[in-house]
Structure 1
Amino acid sequence: MERSDYWKKDKFDEFSAKDAGSFAKFTIENRFPKIFKEVCSEEYDSFIENHKVDDGKILRSNIPGVDELKKSISSYKDYTIKDFFEKAPFFLVEFYFYHLLLSLRNYDELKFDFFAAKKDADWKDKAEDFSSKLSVLFDDFEKFNKRKFSKKEKQEFNERKNEHIKSILYYSLTSNTGDLSQLHEISSESVKCLCNETEICQNYLDVAKPYSRFDIICDNSGAELFSDIYLAVFFLVYGLAKKVVFHLKPCPFFVSDATIDDFSKLVAALTKNGKNTELLDFISKKKIEVFSPNDFWVEPYYFDKMPDGLKNHFDKSNLVIIKGDLNYRRLVGDFNKYANETKSSINFETLEERCLFKNKSNKNIPLVAPRVLKSDVFVGIDSVFEAIGRNSDSQFKTDGKWGVIQTTLPRKTAGRTKKKEKSVSDKNVEKKDNNSDSSKDKKSKHSISEVCFFILFVLVALLLIGSLGAVLLIVFSKTLVENWNCKFLENIANFSPKEAAERIDFSIILTSLSLLVGGSIFVPKFLLRKEVDESVLKEIKNTVKKRVQEEADKYIDSKFSSVSNSLNKCDAHLSRMIAFNLKEEFPIWSIGWSIRSLKRYEKLDPNSVGFVEYFDFVDFLRKTVIESSAQKFFVLIKDVKNEINPVMAALEKEAEESGNDSKRLAIRTVKDIIDFEYSVQFKNKDLKNRSILLPVCNLIGGLAKCLCSAVMVNSQNEKLSEQNLLYRELLEQILQISDYGKKCKDFDAKKDYENRLILVLKELEECVKNKNEKYIKDFAKCDVLFFQSK
């Protein structure tokens, strides 16, 4: 099999590290070394410079995809790995890099997933939330099936289902942020959608009968794999598909890519303690199925080079959901045909036009691609939205804060047409039902209040008519008797003028009262009804809106607090493990990671961490890691001979091996230590577990003073004016990066921190200027605080 030649016919080049400022170059220079050092024992720079790409001892056989990889790199066989990384297409380089890791870790023999610990740690504390979320989906569906719904309720349910489709596709997109190969964590809440074609998907899924089969080509494990399972369950329980098939990687790849082991672990967690047994039922009945992992998923090919067997499978699929950035690049080709055009002239082609995923008839496979942008590939985005992204965020194509939900589905579907035709054929029945429903609605409107109002209206009207009639009879009684012989009015006609005037006055008063009562009751009813309704409705809307906003804010705050708590706890434990692993070879780095771990644990909600757990956690770090590392470092200082600055000399080796400057390492460590101490001693005096943390401050305060003194000794030989005091440079460098320095928004804490720091640094400066080396001996004790409490 040859690599795709799609771009060659139009003379387009794939992305590579040759492009200055490209994501390819950034990844090779920054992400590759970090991932390599986490997995392999070899020294990265030396290894890639001294080994050839096609070295038979490197790429081991019996690893999925290796044979096809070797074919793809045959034209680069004489290159060193370093030259290959810099000059070959980035798409090919990435696949080679991860196959290299598999070979160096003997995956062909051990079958050990060396990324597993990192992947599991990323989602284990979220398993209960995932399980609960899935339970809600099953419960809602069960309630719906047990009840008999009216036609109107079913219509409302279908409308809600369409909204669910929209929200679940967006959830599927945002979960794609969970990529452990990235250098920084991406927040799923911050993802903005540059192209959203979910309405087309809603139209396609709005059918009377379920489709036969959907397929999901998975990307990352953990949260994203859960979103895939959730999506599959949604399709099944809402009758959109009869079956959903998962496609997973055959081996560990791209750090967090999902394998069948990851799928099994997640299913076990979701169904733990008898929960979500419906999921197990779906799997046992093959309604949810994991397709036999295919080597194609770890081979450096685009979708147009998919093997026939796999292509035949997808030809029978009604919908394919393609997850993630890498799969998207395989879908459209890893190149940009608009690289040399001006921004204003770009009219990006659609996914339909660029798609390499075709069926036997060379037509696009029906697919949906939720993708968070993490590379330079850019397809199907309107020029207006491209301008919005570009002007809002210079790194919008690669920083994972922007995404797309794109599809090759037709704009109008046969399924929806059939549904309409069916509605026409049942027109008479529906009309009858609608009339019946309408009649019932009208009857329900005649409430008791309306009946009472109508009776009152009739009484007032009769009273008004009677009053006016009495006046008229009195005035015209003589005329009626004389001309019309109305004998029943003879008594009234014989009234004296005085009696007639009294009767007329009474009738006029009664008429006025009737008009007054009628006006006060019925004018608002008939003339001001619209204004009153609008006023009441507006007030109701404002009240409801305010209430909804309050409840939404509470819900969001609680969810954010829960997520933040989980992330801090996970970060704390990972930092602790890193600190433990570094304590022998890199004691200063180990202390820095220990402090990071404690700072994260300090941020946790106290109710979520038991006292015993907290005590054990801090006690382990204090005794096993921090104390051990501090003692080791002070021993290294004592072993340094014939050095003016033994502390900095001891730091040199550790800094060199970790690829850092010794002065920078010292300042960052000081910052970590004193920020932690200030937080415990002064900023958070009400901290529940403060008494447990104070001994840690006593343990490392002396080390921070020792490092500060060493930095000032280093600066002592520089020319300093009277105004430029020795401590001033160090003070500025600490404040530049400190949590309580220039970026601190709490003015009082910021000022207090700076004043305390100046006092300590001035004292240390005197010690340095007097060439007093006792600070090394004194600060090596385990009872020295950096800041002295007032």
Structure 2
Amino acid sequence: MYRRIHEALVHNPPLDNYDVFKEGKVQSFFESQQAIIALCTYLQELLKNIEDLDEKQLQEEFFKLLQISLWGNKCDLSFSAGEDNFQKASPLKSLDNLKPFILVDDMEGIWSVLINSKKRRTSKDVTRVDIVLDNAGYELITDLVLADFLLSSKLVTEIHFHGKCIPWYVSDTTKQDFNWTIKQLQSANNRWMSRCGMNWEGNIKKGVLVYHDHMFWTLPHEFCSMAQVAADLYAELQKSHLIIFKGDLNYRKLTGDRKWEFTVPFHQALNKFHPAPLCSLRTLKSDVQVGLKPGQGDQLVTSEPDWMICGKYGVVQFDASL
């Protein structure tokens, strides 16, 4: 459907570059201002003293920002059928209340990859994290904040973002959205938002924040076929030390969108897709889920029949093995 919408526009200049979903994305961004200000303020205060943080404190801040990026995935305009779906409250205040709704928590494994890479790194080495984006608006801000923290803490030296090359699933991030968001922050009437925007623009110019798009992300293939269908993209991802896949659609494509038993290991469901260590940050909005403990899924089915599609639960799932 989204390809057909795009095709109709491409054949009708001057509408060929028009994003029919732009208005909804812009509204979602502005309706989330309160949460964006809170997040940008928190980040800038954190960065003032980041060099004084010990390993334990760094880990705590990483876990916090990873969870904010996870729950930012709730703001999905295709899931809400275009209705208001934005973040009003400060995301930092709700983390403790949301913790019980994380069904799989592999944050420790993700941290191990990052901290060990940092410890092994020499001055000439590159440590790279790739983030396969989902929604524009507030969720993109959470991803950029996480990226800034990873760079500023020197846990990594490069962040590569991957977005859609055509408008997709209403609120998915395109290059136009990515650039627009950073420009909006730069010109914001709030000094911390403005500071974030200027810093991120500077990181793009320095080449340590890089945006990519590729047609594969809007094709119907599951990710285990990427090496054959899009060898160039697979080779690009192989340069990464950690790939973070955001959102529900990426999770469905990681797992082949099959009706797996809930206890099937995440690694098995990936079906040999493994360009690098990878993780999924996803709030559940479709009926596929793997990697649960025995009985965990059955208990949820009994107590909350729509648990897989309501967007209330989340997972942080990691696979390190090659």
The counterpart of 1:204, out of the listed 106, 113, 130, is 113
What is the 5 A alignment of 1:199-278? 199-207=108-116, 208=119, 212-272=127-187, 274-276=194-196, 277-278=198-199
Which aligned segments of 4 or more residues in structure 1 are displaced greater than 6 angstroms? 184-188
Partner of 1:118: 24
What is the 5 A alignment of 1:400-419? 400-409=311-320
The separation in 2 between residues aligned to 1:394 and 1:383, in whole angstroms, is 18
The separation in 2 between residues aligned to 1:107 and 1:215, in whole angstroms, is 33
Partner of 1:316: 239
The counterpart of 1:366, out of the listed 260, 263, 277, is 277
The counterpart of 1:301, out of the listed 221, 229, 252, is 221
TM-score for the superposition, normalised by structure 2 = 0.83
1:529-556 per-residue CA deviation (whole Å, 9 max, x = no partner) reads: xxxxxxxxxxxxxxxxxxxxxxxxxxxx
Offset at residue 187 of structure 1 (A)? 8.2
Partner of 2:289: 378
Offset at residue 391 of structure 1 (A)? 2.5
1:296-352 per-residue CA deviation (whole Å, 9 max, x = no partner) reads: 1111111122211111101111000001111111111011144xxxxxxxx621111
Offset at residue 166 of structure 1 (A)? 1.5
Which segment drifts farther, 237-246 or 297-306?
A: 297-306
Partner of 1:160: 57
1:143 aligns with 2:63: no
Code of the aligned partner of 1:245: H
Offset at residue 284 of structure 1 (A)? 0.9
* Inter-CA distance 107–303: structure 2 relative to 1 (3 Å threshold): farther
What is the 5 A alignment of 1:496-511? none
Partner of 1:284: 205
8 Å CA contact retained: 2:73, 2:283: yes
What is the 5 A alignment of 1:668-683? none
SS at 2:161's partner residue?
strand
The separation in 2 between residues aligned to 1:124 and 1:357, in whole angstroms, is 41
SS at 1:241's partner residue?
coil
1:455-502 per-residue CA deviation (whole Å, 9 max, x = no partner) reads: xxxxxxxxxxxxxxxxxxxxxxxxxxxxxxxxxxxxxxxxxxxxxxxx
Offset at residue 357 of structure 1 (A)? 5.9
8 Å CA contact retained: 2:31, 2:86: no
TM-score for the superposition, normalised by structure 1 = 0.35
Partner of 1:62: none
Code of the aligned partner of 1:120: V
1:646-670 per-residue CA deviation (whole Å, 9 max, x = no partner) reads: xxxxxxxxxxxxxxxxxxxxxxxxx
* Inter-CA distance 317–101: structure 2 relative to 1 (3 Å threshold): same
* Inter-CA distance 268–131: structure 2 relative to 1 (3 Å threshold): farther
* Inter-CA distance 138–223: structure 2 relative to 1 (3 Å threshold): same
The separation in 2 between residues aligned to 1:376 and 1:144, in whole angstroms, is 40
1:98 aligns with 2:2: yes
* Inter-CA distance 120–186: structure 2 relative to 1 (3 Å threshold): closer
8 Å CA contact retained: 1:249, 1:259: yes
Structure having the larger proportion of residues in strand: 2
8 Å CA contact retained: 1:357, 1:365: no
Identity over aligned residues, as a percent? 27
The separation in 2 between residues aligned to 1:251 and 1:397, in whole angstroms, is 28
The counterpart of 1:169, out of the listed 66, 81, 97, is 66
Offset at residue 228 of structure 1 (A)? 1.0
SS at 2:201's partner residue?
helix
8 Å CA contact retained: 1:135, 1:275: no
8 Å CA contact retained: 1:209, 1:239: no
Code of the aligned partner of 1:133: L
Code of the aligned partner of 2:2: Y
1:194 aligns with 2:103: yes
The separation in 1 between residues aligned to 2:267 and 2:113, in whole angstroms, is 16
* Inter-CA distance 187–270: structure 2 relative to 1 (3 Å threshold): closer
Number of positions where the alignment pairs a residue of Structure 1 with one of Structure 2: 292
What is the 5 A alignment of 1:53-132? 97-106=1-10, 109=13, 110=15, 111-127=17-33, 129-131=35-37
What is the 5 A alignment of 1:475-624? none
The counterpart of 2:298, out of the listed 383, 387, 402, is 387
Offset at residue 139 of structure 1 (A)? 3.8
User: What's the C-alpha RMSD, in Å, of the aligned pairs?
Assistant: 2.3
The separation in 1 between residues aligned to 2:27 and 2:86, in whole angstroms, is 17
The separation in 1 between residues aligned to 2:282 and 2:318, in whole angstroms, is 11
* Inter-CA distance 206–391: structure 2 relative to 1 (3 Å threshold): same
The separation in 1 between residues aligned to 2:224 and 2:12, in whole angstroms, is 28
Offset at residue 219 of structure 1 (A)? 0.6
Offset at residue 144 of structure 1 (A)? 4.2
* Inter-CA distance 209–135: structure 2 relative to 1 (3 Å threshold): farther
8 Å CA contact retained: 2:28, 2:86: no
Offset at residue 383 of structure 1 (A)? 2.6
The separation in 2 between residues aligned to 1:108 and 1:225, in whole angstroms, is 30
The separation in 2 between residues aligned to 1:297 and 1:231, in whole angstroms, is 22
The separation in 1 between residues aligned to 2:268 and 2:78, in whole angstroms, is 30
Offset at residue 212 of structure 1 (A)? 1.7
Bigger relative contact order, structure 1 or 2, given CA contacts below 8 A and separation 6+? Answer: 2
SS at 1:206's partner residue?
helix
Structure 1: 5+ residue stretches without partners = 1-96, 339-346, 411-790
8 Å CA contact retained: 1:209, 1:240: no
* Inter-CA distance 107–232: structure 2 relative to 1 (3 Å threshold): farther
Structure 2: 5+ residue stretches without partners = 88-93, 189-193
8 Å CA contact retained: 2:248, 2:285: yes
* Inter-CA distance 246–357: structure 2 relative to 1 (3 Å threshold): farther
8 Å CA contact retained: 1:194, 1:402: yes
The counterpart of 1:178, out of the listed 67, 75, 99, is 75
Code of the aligned partner of 2:43: L
SS at 2:251's partner residue?
helix
SS at 2:311's partner residue?
coil
SS at 1:334's partner residue?
coil
8 Å CA contact retained: 2:78, 2:169: yes
* Inter-CA distance 336–186: structure 2 relative to 1 (3 Å threshold): farther
The separation in 1 between residues aligned to 2:281 and 2:9, in whole angstroms, is 33
Code of the aligned partner of 1:389: L
